[in-house]
Homo-oligomer: A and B are copies of this chain.
Amino acid sequence: MSFDILQDQIRKLKNPTVAGLDARLEYVPPYIVNRYINQYGETFQAAAEAIFEFNRGLMDALCDIVPAVKPQSAYYELLGWRGMEMLERTIAYAHKKGLYVIADIKRGDIGTTATAYSEAWLGKTKIGGSELAAFDADCVTVNGYMGSDSIKPFLEHCVSEKKSMFVLVKTSNRSAMELQDLVAGDRQVYHVMGDLAQRLGRETEGRHGFNAIGAVVGATFPSDLRALRERLEHTFFLVPGYGAQGGTAEDVQYAFNRYGHGAIINSSRGIMCAWQKTGQDGMDYQEAARNAAIAMRDDIKQYITIV
């Protein structure tokens, strides 16, 4: 079960964080961008190659500090098929560096369509007698607004391919409350979603006590985070909202159980864009990212101990 692999990597590095790979061209040091624009013009190809060099450099600098990376599909789609090709290379490179890959795709559909998404991102595509992996991530994020029909097809590949998924439960943004906090009977909508995720995953519990279906729970509502940790004992959490969105290490401590297990905290711009604060035009982007990742790890470790 794939959250076992992730939890093992977290324990090895004593670091429950994931680095977002969400590069817009503005986040890439200009010396890299300019080199590729000089070579390929102002094209999707130039942008894709610049971002790939940046991603690769980040992963080289981070792979012995963070256990996982989380490419956000939107930023690759922004470059059309060139971006998607580069995303495939980014995931392959992450695997080469021993990083666990959470593809942040937030897909949500039903039936054969959900199966196609799941095959594309976690499974294999059948072409004649061959089976080929398209994106080959270790884990995806899923939007469950359409109910269990949108979760179960991914669960099949979680089991057959030893992969995992996070369902959006309580997100970190302000307007999350418009739908997710509505009260229906004795539960809020996000409780219903969280309970559904844990129930659907119950036969997939791994060595560390977590099911193959995890939950996205934002750092920006720490009391909800704490209550959900108690409610969803077997559900691994992906926690966005640390840093830029206002969540602190003190807030995110509630995502972990008493062993310091069961959650991974995301930082995207805080690590990727650390070079923008050192005044060296990005020449030091690797060192800046590494220092930011170490600082984040040590910040969180003030509040939790991973046994």
Contacts and interface: CB of A to CB of B under 8 A. Distances in A.
Interface of A: 22, 24-25, 33, 37, 42-44, 46-47, 72, 74-75, 77-85, 87-88, 106-114, 116-117, 119-121, 125-130, 132, 134-135, 143-150, 168, 171, 173-180, 182-185, 189, 192-193, 196
Given A119-B78, A143-B145, A192 B173 contact: no
Contacts of A193: 179
Nearest to A171: B146
B196 A112 contact: no
Given A84-B80, A135-B80, A74 B149 contact: no
Nearest to A144: B179
A81 B85 contact: yes
Given A108-B143, A147-B178, 8 more contacts: A25-B127, A74-B114, A77-B84, A77-B116, A81-B85, A143-B143, A145-B171, A182-B182
Contacts of A189: 179, 182, 184, 189
A149 to B, nearest CB: 4
Contact of A178 (B79, B127, B173, B192): B192
> Which among A85, A113, A184 has the greatest number of chain B C-beta atoms within 10 A?
A113
Contacts of A117: 74, 77-78
B74 A127 contact: no
A227 to B, nearest CB: 19
B168 A145 contact: yes
